[in-house]
Structure 1
Amino acid sequence: MDDPERRARLRLARSSRIGPVTFGQLIARFGTAAAAIEAVPTLAARGGGRPPELADPRRLNDELRRVARAGARHVMIGDPDYPALLEQADAAPPVLTVRGDLSLLDRPSIAMVGARNASAAACRFARQLAHELGQAGATIVSGLARGIDTAAHHGSIDSGTVGVIACGIDIAFPPENAELQDRIGEQGLVIAEQPPGTEPLARFFPRRNRIIAGVALGTVVVEAALRSGSLITARLAAEAGREVMAVPGSPIDPRAQGCNALIREGAILIQSAADVMEQIRPIDARAVRAPASHWGAPPADDATDSDRIAITALLGPVPVPVDELIRQSGRPPAIVQTVLLELELAGRLERHAGARVSLTGP
């Protein structure tokens, strides 16, 4: 991509109501981000709402300056060095901000996640496991959170570690990990999906978790309660067809109940680095590459008013799988996706995990 197209893609990705799925569909349909930006108001009007607010070019200039000051750069989907495993995901981030060595993800990568309030024994085990996996040639990926994440990064800092954060590339969170994050940026790799200057908000952590799971061949959960973000990461890994592994713990420790539940549900029980490498060694991350046309062919025809009425009538406040809409409406998949795209740009549709959608209002 030339510089004007890269800037247009950044602007499209930073615009309101344009998430990864919508971004991909717009590029597939119009070929370039510049053409997609011009078409957005018309599509939103067909969806019955006002167009989304496109990112101000002046804000893009500010973002480019802040990224440069942080010693980072943008990587866009379709770039040769965009993480190959992540590029396969349906909702792969259109733009990543990275600081460090992206080639670390050419090696077999393993995500390690767990409790923030982890026990001392679990942190020690995570640090040792990460160290041994690094010595075996793996790259360790985690979220730079307190507890297990921090232990995993410390254990693999010298062999190769990747920190995925839920804020801007120039923000350190938690604050006590500022020095660790800086070291990872110099010796390993830090990845952020949010623009620079973005503070960590609760809704950004599940998005970060999908990146952690997406760049790795498998995810190891070391210690986790039944309702924790680590189990979200494990679920996302399973949905992506990646290995899910868990370290067993005491049944009387609430912090181990999530891991034990994963094992009961089919996750692989892990007790050593050899156990992990046995699961991921047959796969080579460098052999994985998404197809050149990541988003597929654009729809051949626009939807008609009758298509819009029929498809919208099937939607409501309860999320429904897109495949079910295609089946019940009897419309071609491209037409259904076109109507959903129009509704989302109009602010009337919300996308959920598992390729499900719902209406946001009347």
Structure 2
Amino acid sequence: MNINLSEKKILVTGGAGFIGSNLCEALLEKNNKVFCLDNFATGKKENIEHLLSNSNFTLIEGDIRKIEDCQKAVEGVDYVLHQAALGSVPRSIKDPITSNDVNVGGFLNMLVVSRDSGVKRFVYAASSSTYGDSESLPKVEDKIGKPLSPYAITKYVNELYADVFSKTYGLETIGLRYFNVFGRKQDPNGAYAAVIPKFVGQFMKGESPTINGDGNYSRDFTYIDNVIQANMLSLVADNPKAINTVYNVAYGDRNTLNDLVGYLKENLSEFDASIAEIEVKYGPNRQGDIPHSLASVDKAKELLNYNPEYSLQEGLKEAVKWYWENL
């Protein structure tokens, strides 16, 4: 990934989380000064432990719900990569108030302080959940439905606020609608663990994972390195048409959950042959889930020069190896 981005001051909110910590690493590798803001609600110290000794890395322990923490974090930075959020559709259904406080209130705080401190560009994590009940496939950026969960509402509100701030205050914004991101450092534990790390962890323990529904729901699973590329390209984009808009960030292919389980078994059985024999269980569909998800990445390819390098199968090889060595 040859992207010319160095010697910038970049704030990564949620920088100790799965995506955020990978972004911090990638930015440091390109010789940038990286500031990480995290309150460790879902982020983990171990994700950034190895970065603390790097003189170009600064950890700011703080909460995006507190405006003073946000002000401290943006001081003197050129760019913001806003990853901080409370993810998970089920979590938002169980506790919509906290999801809204973090994802909407915290987002607005970050927009305000970015505007006030002269940040050059605000790139933020949007979500494929914004497509809601739209049944059209592939998902195209300007055709969305009604949100199906409180989480989806918060992520759509983020897009509306970013649009207003770019038009009203001239703050450059780019939203990246992530589709089912997976890869190294994604937590396999906890009630709201994403499907890939959760299933990997269960298979490695010899347990049978439970698929919600009949396994025929499909997703556009997106490896972390594709997401890093999209964020980097968003920071350096200089075509006016590329700015103040949103993009799908995905591979542009879809696989069913049954397909996914087959690929996981195949990859994991290279480390432990007995995993190939583990049966999966099937449970009820999960409330708020979208049946099928497939992204068109044409817009990102055209305006950002996005070129996702990892398919699901290629990404799983890397992810499974990482989990095997680190779990």
- TM-score over 0.5 (shorter chain): no
Per the normalisation by structure 1, the TM-score is: 0.22
Tell me which structure has the larger Cα radius of gyration: 1
